[in-house]
Amino acid sequence: MQKKIHAVPTIVYPESDGEPMAETDKHRKLMMDFILMLEDHFKHDNDVYVSGNLLLYYVEGDPKKCLSPDVFVTFGVEKKQRRTFLTWEEPNTPDFVIEVASPKTISNDLGKKKELYASVLQVKEYFIYDPMGQIVPSFVGYRLIDEEYQEILAVDERLPSETLGLQLGENGGELRLYDPKRSQWLQPPQERVDAAETRIQQEILARQTAEEELEKALAEIERLRAQT
């Protein structure tokens, strides 16, 4: 009797772990702002991939070996849409990661995740930030040196990222990215739009004021001429 050939079961790598994107609106907004700012900053680099809250699988054949960095940047990979990040299909693992922490997640952020980022994924720089200020310290960064994380020291009250060529620090009470080459803070798209609209309104108001002053001056000239 001929033996039946059984098909090898297909391994499925889910696109969701069933967990919410973020604990609070503030956590979610920070994540989205950072993703958008970094996407814009590296928009002309075709081999820089920026993402976040995306399931990253690090052991082929084992869907349980995964995690979802809040924000990450990977250099040397194609800039394209991904449903999941399968490390064995990519030429590189993330170089930069930031986790938006809370009292609920901090033990994992400083424990299992930190170990995975250092020993398995070899993430060059790892930052942890608590936007609610409930954790002490609320902001810390690590750089991978000789396969171990060493804490990054602040420069001008900001933590420098050698990987990104940027600095991370608070500006106006929000965690932001600072470009030391241009000596300016990066702005999320909506903030740039709001700032542009404000400048336009100011220019319109200044133009209206100038026109009103000109009309007053012309009227005064006409008045003086009429008196002579």
pLDDT digits (tens, 9 = 90+) for 47-77: 999 999 999 999 999 999 999 999 999 999 9
In a domain, 71, yes or no: yes
Indicate whether 2 pLDDT > 70: no
Same domain for 212 and 163: no
pTM: 0.81
pLDDT tens, 155-185?
999 999 999 999 999 999 999 999 999 999 9
Same domain for 199 and 181: no
Same domain for 226 and 133: no
Q: Which of 188, 178, 168 is nearest to 28 (CA)?
A: 188
Tell me which of 119-133, 139-153, 159-173, 179-193 is least confident. Answer: 179-193
Whole-number pLDDT of residue 92: 97
In a domain, 170, yes or no: yes
Same domain for 121 and 46: yes
The total number of residues shown for the chain amounts to 228
* Residue 195: domain span: 188-228
Distance CA(131)–CA(67), nearest Å, equals 21
Whole-number pLDDT of residue 200: 47
pLDDT tens, 3-40?
555 555 678 888 887 676 678 999 999 999 999 999 99
Structural domains of the chain, count: 2
Whole-number pLDDT of residue 186: 96
Please state, rounded to an integer, the average pLDDT across all residues of the chain.
88
Distance CA(85)–CA(16), nearest Å, equals 12
